């Protein structure tokens, strides 16, 4: 009996196959360590097929990371709404991010280990800038309410985004403490730290 001829993939199916294979390879080995040849070999195609779909490794990587940033952006958007109190919004955003890391370790690995060239692309967004933008929108009215300089809100937002990103990066490896406990500790530091902000911060021990 002759073996049945393998059914050809549609263009969309091939594109999704390449994205899935490359996503796993990039997450496991890093951008620089993965070659077009390796992606093509794992997909059972020739290199020109990848160039046809994405223009090269950089283009393929960009598509993958953009998908992840959109997923994180949607998660953050769901945490922010007109009827959600600031504390509740912060809790939902922080816990949601750790939930994303838990369910998508490969995706998070891609977001925190981007290629330098991909990061410089027009309109390219990283997970930290997404979190920073979200926290800025959350902090600005809060600063105004407390009589603080709301021009400083983006600065504080980026500092907090770095805290959340680095904490998430460590937790992705060790997975301790539990997700809910970790989120509670992060919210505790952010929320109670914000409540004690000085209106005109100064260094008290350095002349």
* Average pLDDT taken over every residue of the chain: 83
Considering 83-92, 109-118, 156-165, the range whose residues carry the highest mean pLDDT is 156-165
pLDDT at 86: 77
Q: What's the rounded Cα separation, in Å, for the pair 118 and 110?
A: 11
Q: What's the rounded Cα separation, in Å, for the pair 70 and 75?
A: 9
Start-end of H helices in the chain: 11-29, 36-43, 47-54, 57-79, 86-103, 105-112, 116-119, 127-146, 153-174, 179-195
Q: What's the rounded Cα separation, in Å, for the pair 139 and 128?
A: 16
Q: What's the rounded Cα separation, in Å, for the pair 107 and 75?
A: 14
Quick: pLDDT tens for 160-193. 888 888 898 899 889 999 999 999 999 999 889 8
pTM summary value:
0.74
Q: Are 108 and 168 in contact (CB under 8 A)?
A: yes
Lowest mean pLDDT across 25-34, 113-122, 125-134, 195-204: 113-122
Is pLDDT at 119 greater than 80 in this prediction? no
């Amino acid at each position: 009996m002759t073996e049945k001829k393998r059914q050809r993939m549609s263009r969309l199916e091939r594109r999704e196959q390449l994205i899935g294979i490359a996503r796993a390879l990039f997450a496991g080995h890093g951008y620089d360590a993965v070659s077009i040849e390796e992606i093509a070999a794992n997909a059972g195609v020739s290199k020109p097929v990848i160039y046809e779909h994405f223009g090269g490794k950089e283009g393929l990587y960009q598509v993958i990371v953009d998908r992840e940033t959109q997923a994180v952006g949607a998660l953050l958007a769901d945490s922010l709404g007109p009827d959600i109190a600031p504390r509740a919004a912060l809790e939902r955003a922080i816990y949601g991010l750790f939930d994303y890391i838990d369910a998508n370790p490969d995706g998070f690995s891609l977001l925190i280990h981007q290629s330098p060239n991909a990061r410089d692309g027009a309109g390219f967004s990283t997970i930290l800038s997404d979190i920073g933008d979200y926290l800025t929108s959350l902090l600005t009215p809060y600063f105004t309410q407390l009589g603080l300089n709301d021009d400083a809100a983006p600065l504080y937002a980026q500092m907090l985004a770095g805290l959340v990103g680095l904490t998430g990066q460590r937790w992705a490896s060790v997975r301790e403490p539990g997700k809910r406990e970790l989120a509670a500790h992060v919210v505790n530091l952010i929320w109670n730290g914000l409540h004690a902000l000085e209106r005109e911060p100064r260094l008290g021990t350095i002349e």
